[in-house]
Amino acid sequence: MSLEIHSSIQNRKSVRFFSEKTITKEILTLLFEAARWSPSCFNEQPWRFIYTLQKENPDGYGKILDCLATANQSWASNAPLLLIACTKTNFTYNNRPNTHSVYDVGQSMAILSIQAEVLGLSVHQMAGFDPKQAEELLSIPDGFRAITAAAAGYPANLNDLPSKIQAKESEPRKRHPLQDCVFEGKWGGNSGL
Ligand SMILES: Cc1cc2nc3c(=O)[nH]c(=O)nc-3n(C[C@H](O)[C@H](O)[C@H](O)COP(=O)(O)O)c2cc1C
């Protein structure tokens, strides 16, 4: 029997071209519901998400778009959904800094992205945005930080795009080989995988 990783992991991709298909409230709920079930240090659940749908709230959408780096704005502006993922910086139970809060937001975004893939959507995360601008424009309170931006939607049909873009978007996804990131016993130990 040949085993394979789950298709939602294998096929997930950060696309740059989205179709105009609307994301319903029901689908949106499933995305954030998936994120909500992420594990987190002390079950703090430090993630907070601010989303906007381009059609429903063009002003709100424009605010998040404004925070993106110019290179990201150029493609993300065709995504029906933009979001900013934030974190609560301190633990609620003792108000000490939660050094894993950013890690936990990353996990929640990973789970959201996989749930999106299962539903036929693509999520494209972006470090290329101005967190301070987002915190100000979106009224993010003290004690919370903007961590990442993301654009999401149903991927465009590649055949509808110019051939140069089709070629770029069809490039195979690349990863370092397993032996570069998995060690047995100690750092550098041959994993044999
Ligand atoms: C935290 C994070 C930040 C990223 N920032 C950007 C970005 O600013 N602009 C961009 O085009 N892609 C960005 N990406 C997407 C990555 O380039 C992409 O995930 C990577 O090339 C692997 O491709 P794949 O997601 O299709 O497998 C980001 C991804 C992550 C997880």
Q: Summarize pLDDT for 137-187 with one digit per residue, the tens.
A: 999 999 999 999 999 999 999 998 889 889 999 999 999 999 999 999 999
Structure token digits, residue 161: 């795009």
Ligand 1: does its nearest atom lie under 6 Å from the Cβ of 113?
Answer: no
Ligand 1: does its nearest atom lie under 6 Å from the Cβ of 175?
Answer: no
Tell me the whole-structure pTM to 2 decimals.
0.97
pLDDT for residue 2: 80
Pairing of strands 144-153, 122-126: antiparallel
- CB of 92 closer than 8 Å to CB of 42: no
Distance from Cα 124 to the centre of ligand 1, integer Å: 6
**Stretches in the chain below the pLDDT threshold 50:** none
Q: From the CA of 75, give the closest atom in ligand 1.
A: 11
pLDDT for residue 51: 98
Q: Which residue has a Cα nearest atom 4 of ligand 1? A: 126
Encode the chain in three state secondary structure.
CCCCCCHHHHCCCCCCCECCCCCCHHHHHHHHHHHHCCCCHHHCCCEEEEEEECCCCHHHHHHHHHHECHHHHHHHCCCCEEEEEEEECECCCCCCECCCHHHHHHHHHHHHHHHHHHCCCEEEEECCECHHHHHHHCCCCCCEEEEEEEEEECECCHHHCCHHHHHHHCCCCCCCCHHHCCECCCCCCECCC
Q: Which domains occur in the chain, in start order?
A: 7-157 (3.40.109.10)
Q: Which residue has a Cα nearest atom 13 of ligand 1? A: 126
Q: Which residue has a Cα nearest atom 27 of ligand 1? A: 13
pLDDT for residue 1: 64
